Amino acid sequence: MNFEFSPEQHSFVDEVEKFLDEHDRPEIMDVRRENMAQIVDTPPRRAFMKEMGHRGWLGMTWPKEYGGSEGEGVYEFLLNECLARRGAPQIGKGVGIIGKTLIRHGTEKLKREFLPQILENDVEFAVGYSEPKAGSDAAAMQLKATRDEERGGWVLNGEKTWTTSAHFAEWSWVGARTDPEAKKHQGITLFLVPMDHPGLEIQPIPTIGDEITNSVYFDDVFVGDDYVVGELNHGFQYISEALDLERFTMFTYSPIGQRLDVLTDFVKSEERDGEPMRNDPVVRQQIAQLHTQAEVARVLGLQFVAKSVKGGAAPTSEASMYKLFATEFSKRLANASMDMGGPGAQLRLDTEGAPMAGRAESTYRYTVIDTIGGGSSEIQKNIISRRKLGLPKNF
């Protein structure tokens, strides 16, 4: 498998880097927000993404009939890695999860309404899968959708939780159970719901990573048939396809590599008891292991890209393998940074004298979130065991 990039792809990276240099402002880019930097949650960030849309970088892989350029998926990968490396907002849910699912399964009405807005970055979405009693197991969701024949639609009642972006998004991409008698992985339908619906209540949940997620309560929320995505009771299939993309695009490799560079530079220059840390055999062994594992994470990501560009749905097993390894490695890297930084590593960002400028403490908290978003590590292990190793569901 060839992981080398072509001269044209290197040229595209240079073009993106030049664009990022021109827009490198703290209100747009902040590497210290880690992978949560992908959120387009402020006017400057929305304007930045709109400018990327004008350059044709949003929806590059979409069909031309929907405003895309039918480019290879590797260009989307390169773009997202460049953005993540600089702490800039990434292309995120609209282009990947919502846009690509609508192109495959949405009605012409939904395509006409939402796809142009996505390409112009005129709309932000919240994704409503997780529930208090379902966690990150999308198939276990119980948000109830009851048929209303008189009005021609569905009435939603229940709760979603860990809904990132709900506090600033215009629309929610919601999974609900339309057939309670169906098997666990059936009877789920996808809906598009406006976030200003009077039946929605949003309650913020501060996270350990200093970001906000939300609980969203649905109280007799009516959704017309026009805003049903795809076929009735086929929602879990669409969610699974979209999650494969989310597991890869949300957890880019670049921030992990950047944090490893911060730790490596610290070890190169720091002393302990008058001796350079870089000469400590235990430290050297740990750094060597971390760099080796980082390369594994990078190549797993490239393997996903290589299989994705062949067309069709994103490769499920490869998405889970990358997400599991990369996010768990990210935790190990954060733990090592805290250990090597010593007691001072507990100091927060912008604290004078904090080792690694406080990055160790910050990433230690952030990386916990990464192992849960897009499906927890336990969910990824189940997917790999069944789809890659062929193990039975009950073992």
The pLDDT score that the predictor gives to residue 15 is 97
Task: Tell me the pLDDT tens digit for each residue of 318-368.
Answer: 888 989 999 999 999 999 999 999 999 999 998 999 999 999 998 999 888
Range of the domain at 283: 251-388
Same domain, 188 and 139: yes
Same domain, 220 and 185: yes
The pLDDT score that the predictor gives to residue 12 is 96
The pLDDT score that the predictor gives to residue 282 is 95
Q: Torsions phi, psi of 153, nearest 5? A: 180, -150
Q: Which residue has the higher pLDDT, 259 or 383?
A: 259
Single residue among 205, 233, 261 that ends a domain in this structure? 233
- 1 lies in a domain? no
Same domain, 359 and 271: yes
In the predicted structure, residue 244 carries a pLDDT above the cut 80: no
Single residue among 70, 90, 110 that ends a domain in this structure? 90
- 118 lies in a domain? no
Average pLDDT over every residue of 103-113? 96
CA angle 68-63-301, nearest 5°? 80
Region label for 225, one of left (φ > 0), alpha (ψ between -120 and 50) or beta (otherwise): alpha
Same domain, 259 and 223: no
- 100 lies in a domain? no
Percent of the chain with pLDDT over 90: 61
Q: What is the DSSP annotation of 91-151?
A: SHHIIIIIIHHHHHH--HHHHHHHHHHHHTT---EEEE--BTTTBT-GGG---EEEEETTT
- 339 lies in a domain? yes
- Look at 30-39, 120-129, 240-249, 378-387 and tell me which has the smallest mean pLDDT: 240-249
Task: Tell me the pLDDT tens digit for each residue of 268-294.
Answer: 999 988 999 999 999 999 999 999 999
- Tell me the CATH number at 185: 2.40.110.10
What are the start-end ranges of the H helices in the chain?
Answer: 7-22, 43-54, 73-85, 92-93, 100-105, 108-119, 235-249, 254-269, 281-308, 316-341, 359-370, 377-383
Task: Tell me the pLDDT tens digit for each residue of 134-152.
Answer: 766 777 899 999 999 999 9
The pLDDT score that the predictor gives to residue 32 is 83
The pLDDT score that the predictor gives to residue 333 is 97
- Look at 88-102, 192-206, 235-249, 279-293 and tell me which has the smallest mean pLDDT: 235-249
Residue 316: which pLDDT band, with cuts at 50, 70 and 90? confident
Same domain, 148 and 213: yes
Average pLDDT over every residue of 183-207? 94
Same domain, 260 and 213: no
Q: How far is CA 384 from CA 78, 182, 324, 392, in A?
A: 26, 25, 10, 11
Average pLDDT over every residue of 18-39? 85
CA distance 102 to 96: 10
- Tell me the CATH number at 32: 1.10.540.10
Same domain, 37 and 140: no
Same domain, 286 and 357: yes
Average pLDDT over every residue of 21-43? 84
Same domain, 216 and 263: no
In the predicted structure, residue 248 carries a pLDDT above the cut 60: no
The pLDDT score that the predictor gives to residue 139 is 78
Same domain, 189 and 303: no
Average pLDDT over every residue of 60-84? 90
Same domain, 214 and 289: no
- 56 lies in a domain? yes
- 292 lies in a domain? yes
- Mean pLDDT (the chain) is 89
In the predicted structure, residue 37 carries a pLDDT above the cut 70: no
- Tell me the CATH number at 281: 1.20.140.10
In the predicted structure, residue 393 carries a pLDDT above the cut 80: no
The pLDDT score that the predictor gives to residue 62 is 92
Same domain, 306 and 352: yes
The pLDDT score that the predictor gives to residue 380 is 85
The structural domain count of the chain equals: 3
Single residue among 201, 233, 265 that ends a domain in this structure? 233
- 170 lies in a domain? yes
The pLDDT score that the predictor gives to residue 392 is 85
Average pLDDT over every residue of 208-236? 94
Most confident of 126-140, 171-185, 365-379: 171-185
- 256 lies in a domain? yes
Q: Which residue has the higher pLDDT, 375 or 183?
A: 183
